Amino acid sequence: HANRTNGIDKNVWVEFTQLAAAYSKVNLGQGFPDFAPPKFVQEAFCHALNEGPMMHQYTRAFGHVPLVKSLAKFFSRVIGHEIDPLEDILVTVGAYQALFSAFQALINEGDEVIIVEPFFDCYQPMVKMAGGQPVYIPLRPKGDGSVLSSGDWVLSPEELASKFTPRTKALVINTPNNPLGKVYKTEELQMIADLCIKHDVLVISDEVYEWLTYDGAKHVKIASLPGMWERTITVGSGGKTFSATGWKVGWAISSEHIIKHMKTIHQNTVYHCATPAQEAVARGFEREYEVFGTPESYFQQLPAMLHHKKNKLASLLKSVGLKPIMPEGGYFMTADFSSIKVDYDDPSSKDEAKDFRFVKWLIKEKGLATIPVSAFYSPEHGKEFDKYIRFCFVKEEATLDAAAEILKKWS
């Protein structure tokens, strides 16, 4: 085998999706809705399938033209920059491939990439596969650690500044963050942007949960800050946007001088993405453009629905002695389980991190699947953050009620 596969063979989704399938009765682990996408995109997909023979064939390699046009129209208004549909956008197989293409296209052997912890786990193996060196900086809870909101988890500007070296090529942020739910404020993004401009560093901004913010938190695109369009790659996901994670339509939006190198990777690996799924996402964005900012918009309806589910899950977790950190965005909630006094040690997992052991016990013995949060940290820092587990709340009421049944019985 090739050396690039060394040390990246373990994957939290592979492991915990299998465990959940084998043992769990209720799955609040992997992040996907257990309800249907909105009618208008389902209908758009069906319409695409019946539209004629060409909808079943290859389409434009770098993105189906109706999709790049609707993305450009929609996001030009959001970013405040005129996006060229053919030059500034690459459509990919989910946000995953947008991230992969970005690292492959931009990172050279030995380049350093700053990653903010906790981070969506794939950034690390992707940087390594490109020959890069991940450099980690954790968000830390303010004060004595008894924090209740993801907004209390912050970067130290001095610590961040100390991570930049002449070899730093890029920095990755994720807002709203998976797993914490932190939504970066403009001041925080400006501090990051200032450092990236000063050191001539690129920003990869993973914004797959951009429409999901709660309690007044506002999602801000770092690409919209002065001087940042030219150095930012903004990554999005049709799956997360329209509650259709199985469609695997994603995109990268950036300046043409960056996208052209990502196109080179794409044309030599994946080449085309599924045509009808792109057509359906295109129609979804056309519809959202028309109703943007109104209560008709799915980008308002989905967070309104999730706001209620988030509060319901938080009350449940508190009632059984778990300490949730309230997310400002996204569809995950992390909770501190250190006050739970149960014997969760299973001989088969005794060498693993505490949160991995606890989650395995919860799945195997109680039938409830969640995700251990140290999976979102580098090995160096995971130990400091192994008292948290992540719950996904983009679920039917009945699923959340079934989770409540399990948690209440055990506590």
Q: Which residues bind ligand PMP (CB under 6 A)?
A: 31, 94-96, 120, 174, 178, 206, 208, 237, 239-240, 245, 250
DSSP 178: T
Q: How far is the CB of 100 from ligand GLN (least distance, A)?
A: 13
| Residue of the chain from 31, 85, 327, 372 that contacts ligand GLN (CB under 6 A) | 31
| Nearest CA among 217, 221, 387 for reference residue 306 | 217
Helix (H, G, I), strand (E, B) or coil at 338: coil
Of 279, 265, 241, the closest CA to residue 59 belongs to 279
Task: Please report whether residue 13 would count as binding ligand GLN according to CB under 6 A.
Answer: yes
CB of 99 to ligand GLN, least distance (A): 11
Quick check: 138 binds ligand GLN (CB under 6 A)?
no
Among positions 15, 23, 25, 30, the unique one binding ligand GLN when judged by CB under 6 A: 30
Which residues does 336 contact at the CB level (< 8 Å), separation at least 6? 322, 323, 324, 325, 387, 388
**Total of chain residues touching ligand GLN, rule CB under 6 A:** 4
Choose which of 70, 174, 178, 399 interacts with ligand GLN (CB under 6 A).
178
Helix spans in 268-297 (H): 275-291
User: Are the CB atoms for 369 and 407 separated by under 8 Å?
Assistant: no
* Minimum distance of ligand PMP from residue 39's CB (angstroms): 21
Q: Which residues pair with 134 in a beta bridge?
A: 113
Residue whose pair of structure tokens reads 């109680």 in the numeric block: 366
Partner whose footprint covers residue 30, from ligand PMP, ligand GLN, none (CB < 5 to 8 Å by kind): ligand GLN
Q: Please report how close the Cβ of residue 19 comes to ligand GLN at its closest, in angstroms.
A: 13
Nearer to ligand PMP, 31 or 181 (CB): 31
d(CA 33, CA 13): 16
Of 11 and 165, which CB lies nearer to ligand GLN in the complex structure? 11
d(CA 263, CA 111): 21
CA separation for the pair 179, 40 (Å, rounded): 29
The alpha carbon of residue 289 and the mean position of all alpha carbons in its chain are separated, in whole angstroms, by 23
Q: Which does 237 bind (CB under 5 to 8 A by kind): ligand GLN, ligand PMP, none?
A: ligand PMP
Instruction: Confirm or reject binding of residue 42 to ligand GLN (CB under 6 A).
Output: no
CB atoms within 10 A of CB 166: 6
Q: Which does 13 bind (CB under 5 to 8 A by kind): ligand GLN, ligand PMP, none?
A: ligand GLN
Shortest CB 131 distance to ligand GLN, Å: 23
Q: How far is the CB of 206 from ligand PMP (least distance, A)?
A: 5
Q: Measured from the CB atom, is 203 or 208 closer to ligand PMP? A: 208
> Measured from the CB of residue 246, what is the shortest distance to ligand GLN in angstroms?
11
Among residues 168 and 237, whose Cβ is nearest to ligand PMP?
A: 237
How far is 354 from 351, CA to CA, in rounded Å? 9
- Going by their DSSP bridges, the two strands 140-141 and 153-154 should be labelled as antiparallel
Binding residues for ligand GLN (CB under 6 A): 13, 30-31, 178
